[in-house]
């Protein structure tokens, strides 16, 4: 089996090529099977898993050309002699050149964790707009405002416990999970404000007056471990959603329900609020708790 990834502008989704079929792992619907290379590339390039669009963009690329394999590969091997590392070849040059073990070594830099937005900001923007712009606009929010929150969330995660790690997930999956969490938090934040916002308060005589003129007690915030708790929640959230992606769990439902769990919603309340089946919610909660126990026993 050959495993490759679609290009960044097309989502960076994992693609699995077997002898008789090709599978693409989409972020929400999971793996989908395609009979040949052309239909696979049509689905990936047009971000259309079911190929239902009437107008499709066809690159007419071969498998190797699209995934940059074989003669289309951009990878280069950098070869240098042993003494070149130290910057001086004045001593024993002829011996070094004639020695088989010193004729060359390969040097590869170890990948760093996290996402450098100075380089990847445009790729993050493309993935966000492809997967969440329509949903955000439907909620009545400005996608540019939400995108800034996504950038901020990635920067926070770069310094936290859940930075991007190419060995655990692809770039596209990580950005999709982070964006899903940010969009869900953004919606809940402003929905909560809309539910709780009132214009003034009622006094003892039943008259409406400005809050500044009322006798409401002012409560000063206290310092605590709020930051540590939120960091732990974020770590658990990323781990649960990452495991969901591997187990082909519905990512859209999982993102919504896991947020409700961290906000203290009960099973019945989640079912009534979301309309999801009781069987699915129960199985997901059992699955998520088992993952959390593994990560944070």
- Per run of 10 residues, the mean pLDDT along the chain (length 297 residues) is 86 88 87 89 86 74 87 63 50 45 45 82 90 86 90 88 84 90 85 60 62 52 53 77 82 84 83 85 87 74
Rounded distance between C-alpha atoms, residue 126 and residue 204, angstroms: 54
- Quick check: 154 and 206 in contact, CB under 8 A? no
pLDDT at position 104: 45
CB atoms near residue 67 (< 10 Å): 19
Residue 54: DSSP 8-state? S
The pLDDT score that the predictor gives to residue 151 is: 92
Span 65-108, pLDDT tens digits? 888 888 887 665 545 555 554 554 444 444 444 444 444 444 44
Sheet holding 2-5, edge to edge: 2-5, 14-17, 22-26, 30-34
The CA distance from 48 to 109, in Å, is 36
Residue 154: exposed, middle, or buried by beta-carbon count in 10 A (0-12, 13-18, 19+)? buried
Q: Which of 65, 69, 73 is nearest to 41 (CA)?
A: 65
Residue 124 pLDDT: 92
pTM of the complete model: 0.36
- In order of 80, 81, 94, 153, the CA distances from 90 in angstroms are 16, 13, 10, 52
| Element housing 106 (H / E) | strand 105-106
């Amino acid at each position: 089996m050959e495993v490759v990834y679609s290009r960044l502008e097309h989502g960076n989704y994992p693609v699995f090529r077997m002898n008789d079929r090709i599978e693409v792992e989409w972020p929400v619907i999971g793996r989908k099977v395609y009979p040949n290379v052309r239909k696979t590339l049509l689905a990936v390039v047009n971000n259309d898993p079911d190929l239902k669009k009437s107008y499709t963009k066809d690159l007419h690329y071969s498998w190797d050309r699209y995934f940059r394999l074989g003669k289309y590969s951009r990878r280069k091997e950098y070869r240098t002699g042993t003494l070149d590392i130290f910057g001086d070849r004045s001593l024993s040059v002829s011996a070094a050149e004639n020695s088989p073990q010193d004729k060359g070594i390969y040097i590869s830099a170890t990948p760093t964790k996290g996402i450098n937005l100075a380089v990847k900001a445009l790729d993050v923007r493309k993935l966000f707009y492809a997967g969440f712009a329509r949903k955000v606009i439907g909620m009545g929010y400005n996608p540019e405002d939400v995108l800034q929150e996504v950038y901020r969330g990635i920067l926070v995660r770069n310094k936290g416990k859940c930075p991007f790690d190419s060995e655990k997930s692809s770039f596209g999956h990580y950005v999709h999970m982070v964006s899903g969490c940010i969009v869900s938090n953004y919606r809940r934040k402003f929905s909560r404000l809309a539910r709780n916002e009132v214009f003034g308060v009622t006094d003892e005589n039943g008259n409406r007056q400005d809050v500044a003129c009322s006798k409401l007690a002012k409560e000063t915030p206290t310092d605590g471990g709020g930051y540590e708790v939120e960091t732990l929640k974020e770590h658990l959230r990323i781990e649960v959603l990452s495991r969901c992606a591997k187990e082909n769990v519905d990512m859209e439902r999982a993102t919504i329900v896991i947020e409700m769990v961290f906000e203290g919603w009960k099973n019945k309340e989640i079912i009534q609020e979301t309309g999801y089946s009781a069987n699915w919610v129960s199985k997901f909660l059992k699955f998520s708790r088992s993952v959390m126990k593994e990560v944070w026993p």
